[in-house]
Amino acid sequence: MICRSLSLAALLSLAPVASHAAPVLMVSVDGLRPTDVLEADKRGINLPTLTKLAAQGVYATGVRNVLPTVTYPNHTTLITGVWPARHGIANNQTFDPLQKNFGGWYWYTRDIKVQTLWDAVHGAHGKVASLSWPVSVGATSIDFDIPEYWRAQNPEDLKLVRALATPGLVDSLEKATGLSLADADGDTIAADTGRDRFAAALIAAHHPAFTTVHLRALDHVEHVSGPGSPEARAALEQLDDSIGQLIRAARKAEPNLVVAIVSDHGFSPVLHDVNLMAPFAAAGLITFDAKTHKPTDWQAGLWGGPSVAVVLARPDDAALKAKVAGLLATLAANPDLGIARVADAADVARMGGTPMASFWVDFKSGYEMGNDPSAPSVSEGSVKGNHGYFPDHPEMRATFILAGPGVPAKGSLGEVDMRDIAPTLAKILKVRLPEADGHPLL
């Protein structure tokens, strides 16, 4: 016999969010290597906030991240629990072989093809907040949003960010903190500190159920000075202090706050830039203007770096595919170029990378894809540190620390899959994330 009525308790049990769901603050420290936290004392890095969180809750010895190990695809996996092949954010920059998008990145949330944690919480009537999280422009599920975005690479970008933010939000946070938007935008330690203060003020004023914050300075310093450099250690110590201030302020407003510290990738030192554009041009696969060195035509486009996806203009053209495969085999056989591996489309699919790539070239640590088509075949690295290699490089491992009321002080989880982080947070938030491929870690 089917019961035609449900008790109030039964109805509440079907609700997507329970009243006792803990609020979650997820802070991404871009480029944070897990060993810099877990071996902080050994390395002489003073990180009282991060090491205390790890001691109070759980942490991963490393997070196996996604192909490619760059910021935007991995941040999207952190909030979806799926690989780029499913969520659609294939790289940092969009594929633009003729440079018509002027260096445009995957800024827009509408490019995400699956449900996000923002969607799940918002759909369950929880408030959502986000500051400078990648791929957050136009996110209708974020109630309080200051997205990460730039175009002009000058102060005019602040007008863009203000226009794209939730109406009135920037003004209210400026008033609450005494800071300007310029103080909380950019890749410096000062900007990250300002962003943390904005986040604290936002949580105090609006009590969101889920808040995402992206801190960008450490990544910038590691590119310029190298991972593990004195400059990188100093930046991390400053960020640790700023994060500590954010957590203390947030917990005054939300005593039951659960804090997740994450990162998108690790870092590797760089010594050499490798010019693959020249041999592709010599083979007639890319055509460059002789004066401007800008591409005018392409049969096979190179996308990203340090590892680089190879996209074919006609992926079903067997002759074109064979020509590119032959060229890549010749290049990989040259030890001077530092190529570690050439993956074909099947390999890329097994790693969860975009189906747009017919091949993907990975480099050995110390080598990276260069961007100058007129450069020598191998030249001095344009940066001192980088990421973006295949995710099986141990130095690309990312960070995960989780602490707060209800999180058991279990310590190490061992190495975890990045796809498991979103389902873990969904469980704490009492929301459903049915499209996720990962599983809760607790």
Q: Pick from 205, 271, 267, 260: which is nearest to 231 by CA? A: 267
**What local confidence, expressed as pLDDT, does residue 319 receive?**
98
User: Which pLDDT score is estimated for 293?
Assistant: 85
Q: What is the pLDDT of residue 20?
A: 64
Tell me if 271 sits within 8 A of 385, measured CB to CB: no
Those residues whose C-beta lies under 8 Å from the C-beta of residue 90, and which sit 6 or more positions away, are 73, 84, 106, 309, 353, 354, 356
For position 292, what pLDDT does the model report?
87
How far apart CA 259 and CA 407 sit, in angstroms, is: 10
pLDDT score, position 436: 98
User: Is the peptide bond between 373 and the residue preceding it cis, with omega within 30 degrees of 0?
Assistant: no
Predicted pLDDT of residue 230: 98
pLDDT at residue number 290? 87
Give, in order, the Cα–Cα distances in Å from 38 to each of 33, 53, 58, 220, 411: 9, 11, 12, 22, 11
Nearest to 121 by CA among 417, 425, 420: 425
Instruction: Please list, in sequence order, all residues whose beta carbon lies within 8 angstroms of the beta carbon of residue 197, skipping any fewer than 6 positions away.
Output: 177, 179, 184, 245, 246
| Dist. CA 422–CA 112, nearest whole Å | 15
How many Å apart are CA 154 and CA 49, to the nearest integer?
34
Question: What letter would DSSP give residue 93?
Answer: B
Q: Which residues of 176-186 are buried (b: 16+ CB within 10 A; e: fewer)?
A: ebebebebbbb
For the entire predicted model, the pTM comes to 0.95
CB distance 86 to 116 below 8 Å? no
Cα angle 244, 248, 253; round to 5: 145
Running along the chain, 442 residues long, what does each successive block of 10 average in pLDDT? 32 40 98 98 98 98 98 98 98 97 96 98 98 98 98 94 98 98 97 98 98 98 98 98 98 98 98 97 95 93 96 98 98 98 98 98 97 94 97 98 96 98 98 98 96
Torsion of CA 122, 123, 124, 127, to 10 degrees: 10
